[in-house]
Amino acid sequence: MNDIKPKILVFSTEKISDPAIDLAGLLKMYYPATVYTITVPCSSSIKPRWIMHAFDAGFDGVFIAADGTDCPYSENCTENTSNIVKQTQDLMRQKAMDTARLKMAAICSVCSEAFVRQIKTFYDYLINQKQNENA
């Protein structure tokens, strides 16, 4: 069943999590090539409609690589991003979707290991879900 390659959309942030994802590449910490990144200034700027749009368009999972406490803009960033996740999950529930297809974790600017670990776990989870669906 190795031909199942879930597609993950990562929202990363210019100053914090994107450098970590860059660093993962620099250090050759491999992760699946079906993980795509769209960079935004801050994880608190992601609109739930974008996330829903990603699911509608065919993404299996959406991962928010959040600024967390490292956010250069506001100390409320973690809370704001969590609100975005909650709102989106409400929308997902209305459509009877698995809310675990949306994942958020704070990724600091050197947290490349954490990023790769999170992404791999998420990827495996999505493979499992897909296998179950197919079965």
Amino acid at 114: A
From the CB of 92, what's the least distance to other proteins, in Å?
A: 15
Nearer to other proteins among residue 74 and residue 131 (C-beta): 74
Taking contact as CB under 8 A, which single stretch among the options 33-41, 93-101, 123-131 is the one that binds other proteins?
Answer: 33-41
Q: Is the dihedral of CA 10, 102, 121, 118 positive or negative?
A: positive
Look at residues 2, 69, 77, 74 and name the one whose alpha carbon lies nearest to residue 34.
2
Determine which residue in the list 64, 84, 105, 107 makes contact with other proteins, applying CB under 8 A. Answer: 84
> What one-character-per-residue DSSP string does 85-105 give?
HHHHHHHHHHTT--GGGEEEE
Q: Count CB atoms within 10 A of the CB of residue 121.
A: 12
Rule CB under 8 A: which of 102-121 touch other proteins? Answer: 109-110
Determine which residue in the list 4, 15, 97, 99 makes contact with other proteins, applying CB under 8 A. Answer: 15
CA distance 25 to 23: 5
Residues that bind other proteins (CB under 8 A): 7, 9, 15, 18-19, 21-26, 28-34, 36-42, 44-50, 53-54, 57-59, 70-74, 76-77, 80, 83-84, 87, 109-110
